[in-house]
Amino acid sequence: MSDIIDEVISSFKVSNIFINRDYLMPDYIPEELPHREDQIRKIAGILAPLYRGERPNNIFIYGLTGTGKTAVSKFVLSNLYKKFPNKFKYVYVNTRQTDTPYRVLADLLEALGVKVPFTGLSIAELYRRLVKAIKEYSLQVVIVLDEIDAFVKKYNDDILYRLSRINSEISKGKVSFIGITNDVKFVDSLDPRVKSSLSEEEIVFPPYNAEELEDILRKRAQMALKPGVLSDSVIRLCAALAAREHGDARRALDLLRVSAEIAERLRDSTVKEEYVYMAKDEIERDRVRDIILTLPFHSKLVLAAIVAKLLEEKNAVLTTGNVYEAYLSISKKLGIEAITQRRVSDILNELDMVGLLTARVVNRGRYGKTKEISLAVDKNIIIKTLTESDNRFADLWG
């Protein structure tokens, strides 16, 4: 039997496909970032005063997801730092991951060499220590706050307001901020004082078009995949599929990586176009699964109600009214206290926003307006994921 294990391991050890899969992973920062020369030049130009020990302007970076904001910012800072390490210090914080004001301030402090306890201090105290640390620090400090929209939505812009005032609390400007977001509307929702302070310079990252995505994929594939594994038509297909929504390089790279993984799994020596379509389904399935698993319970119930209704009657026209009836019926079945139709209607909008369904307002003459609802994803994925997340759902589809 151990020969089976040997076989599995040996096929794992030598890959037909990959030189190094890491080069296709989303967090790898490549040495070359095609089609971002303008943004690299602009950011480097704004940060150049660091070389003379002067404070650069704050920068606000925005653009849709997967347009290279994080990669470019890290690339510019790490390269500047390599060139003159004694001139400044930079700290990168992803505020979606480091997602409490306490942790953000503690991380900033630690980067400046000030240890703080894991909990227990007040935010005001942390902030006071940060101002002191920056004041005493001998070099300019650049602080990158990535994905700040998520953070501000969860808390508020208080921390941004405080941070943006640091320079006015110390006699000489010492700290610059780079704020990054993929939510363009977010910028307008900020307190005007925070906004004007943080966006001394604004840089927009436009989506990539299909040809640009092809160049990006080609460069990454050269490093990650063995020669001859990939045809140009596969690259073009990945790029075209990713460009269809908006030019999202992360999506393009995911498609390529998962296609290559499928080839490897099937012990093929080349990546075929059909694997790209398989990869697309696989990625979509994972995405839908992740969204469903993190939904609040009543949102899951609403989703279950829609599926139950469709199982009962394949071409049912779904409206807020009959979805609510179906929801009441399954709540009763599961012995759960129901929420109001108004709340269910809100949930339907939320499910629309995360892309699980589409709700369209239709005017039904004297019956007034109603919403017509249809699923935007495969109902079998919903059934499988709901059952997995909570086995009470299993009883609903028998």
Is there a contact between 352 and 377 (Cβ–Cβ < 8 Å)? no
Q: Is 67 annotated as a binding residue?
A: yes
- Kindly state whether residue 65 participates in binding ligand ATP, applying the rule CB under 6 A: yes
Question: Residue from 70, 164, 299, 320 that binds ligand ATP (CB under 6 A)?
Answer: 70
Site for ligand ATP in 11-30 (CB under 6 A): 26, 29-30
| HSE-CB for 266 with a 13 A CA cutoff | 15
- State how far Cα 366 lies from the chain centre: 44
- State how far Cα 115 lies from the chain centre: 30
Q: For Mg ion, which is the closer residue by CB, 70 or 197?
A: 70
Is there a contact between 296 and 350 (Cβ–Cβ < 8 Å)? no
Closest CA to 371 of 294, 291, 306: 306
Q: For Mg ion, which is the closer residue by CB, 55 or 74?
A: 74
- Kindly state whether residue 216 participates in binding ligand ATP, applying the rule CB under 6 A: yes
- Kindly state whether residue 76 participates in binding ligand ATP, applying the rule CB under 6 A: no
Q: For ligand ATP, which is the closer residue by CB, 140 or 181?
A: 181
Q: For ligand ATP, which is the closer residue by CB, 134 or 216?
A: 216
Closest-approach residue to Mg ion (CB):
70
| Bridge partner residues of 371 (DSSP) | 361
Is there a contact between 16 and 269 (Cβ–Cβ < 8 Å)? yes
Q: For ligand ATP, which is the closer residue by CB, 58 or 70?
A: 70
Task: Please list, in sequence order, all residues whose beta carbon lies within 8 angstroms of the beta carbon of residue 315, skipping any fewer than 6 positions away.
Answer: none
- Kindly state whether residue 73 participates in binding Mg ion, applying the rule CB under 5 A: no
DSSP 114-151: ----SS-S-HHHHHHHHHHHHHH-SSEEEEEEETHHHH
- Kindly state whether residue 33 participates in binding ligand ATP, applying the rule CB under 6 A: yes
- Kindly state whether residue 385 participates in binding Mg ion, applying the rule CB under 5 A: no
Angle 145-148-32 from CA coordinates, rounded to 5°: 55
The bridge status of strand 369-375 relative to strand 201-205 is unpaired
Q: Is 208 annotated as a binding residue?
A: yes
Q: Is 355 annotated as a binding residue?
A: no
Closest-approach residue to ligand ATP (CB):
68
- Kindly state whether residue 70 participates in binding Mg ion, applying the rule CB under 5 A: yes
- Kindly state whether residue 34 participates in binding ligand ATP, applying the rule CB under 6 A: yes
Which residues carry a binding-site annotation?
67-71, 208, 220
Interface residues with ligand ATP (CB under 6 A) are 26, 29-30, 33-36, 63, 65-71, 147, 182, 216, 249-250, 253
